[in-house]
Amino acid sequence: SRVDGGDGTEEENERKASDLIYDVFPEHIAHALRDGKKVEPEKKEMVSIYFSDIVGFTDICSKIDVEKVSDMLDRLYTALDRIAGELDIFKIETIGDAYMCVTNLVEEQEDHAARLAFFAMKAVQVAAETMVDEEQKELGCVKLRIGINSGPVVANVIGTSRPKYTLFGDTVNIASRMESNSLPQKILCSEKTAHLIQEQKQSFEQRVCVLERGIIRVKGKGPMETYWICSEEEMLASKVVVQEEDKSIADFVI
């Protein structure tokens, strides 16, 4: 029988709902939800987590109307989702201007930290190509602030009428702190993630580098060693700058 309103058969609507579940949840979780089974919390010993938000988002919202804000987010997130799909990165959620995704969660990925770092570098490129408002070019392009951390988490489905798959643990909190302490169009990571990238970058086909930022005070954690994630070109450029600075100091001393 047809559903009132001519929106398609009940079977078609059920299939669309089922497809949506498989888009939002990992396959084994989607199976359980479809079959009405209870989903138990899962502990994962090591994942890498990405957080980003848009620099000056509140200011942007005051300059363009809400429809244009929605369009900007749609253009940005569509591009990020495409890259995440290409790299087998699992998106957890988007809330407003915040984007969260993870590696080594739904499938084993030995290069999870390097893979997520490369995604973050691509995200910076995407932001630099995404206009805030395509009709007001003077507003420029989107700038992201990005943070990454690696460690253990607990994954679980919360709620029943509108179930949500989410991650819990200190690893998540530190990833969020890395993001809030980052800078526009920069990617900040924890010492743990930096070490993993160094270990994994040979097995990952794309080149990813880390550059020491130094110790910063992180809310709720105290002093933490942090690193910038960058390309080989940025790494070489930073070394040239340091060498030039050292040369200038030497000339001054002489």
Predicted pLDDT at 51 = 99
Could you tell me what percent of the chain has a pLDDT over 90? 65
Predicted pLDDT at 253 = 40
Q: Hey, where are the domains in the chain?
A: 1-38, 40-253
Predicted pLDDT at 185 = 97
Predicted pLDDT at 18 = 58
Predicted pLDDT at 231 = 86
Q: What is the mean pLDDT of residues 193-206?
A: 87
Say whether pLDDT at 237 is over 70: yes
| CA 182 – CA 50 distance, rounded (Å) | 12
Q: What is the mean pLDDT of residues 93-115?
A: 95
pLDDT digits (tens, 9 = 90+) for 117-166: 999 999 999 999 999 999 999 999 999 999 999 999 999 887 777 778 88
Read off the amino acid at residue 32. A
Say whether pLDDT at 248 is over 70: no
Read off the pLDDT band of 242 (50, 70, 90): very low
Q: Provide DSSP, the chain.
A: -BPTTS--BHHHHHHHHHHHHHHHS-HHHHHHHHTTPPPPPEEEEEEEEEEEEETTHHHHHHHS-HHHHHHHHHHHHHHHHHHHHHTT-EEEEEETTEEEEEESSSS--TTHHHHHHHHHHHHHHHHHT-BS-TT-GGG-B--EEEEEEEEEEEEEEE-SSS-EEEEESHHHHHHHHHHHTS-TTEEEEEHHHHHHHHHHTTTSSS--EEEEEEEEEETTTEEEEEEEEE-HHHHHHHHHHHHHHHHHHHHHH-
Predicted pLDDT at 234 = 82
Q: What is the mean pLDDT of residues 176-203?
A: 95
pLDDT digits (tens, 9 = 90+) for 15-24: 655 566 666 6
Query: Crossing angle of helices 27-34/10-24, nearest 10°?
Result: 140
Say whether pLDDT at 49 is over 70: yes
The topology (CATH level 3) of 40-253 is Alpha-Beta Plaits (3.30.70)
Beta carbons of 94 and 100 less than 8 angstroms apart: yes
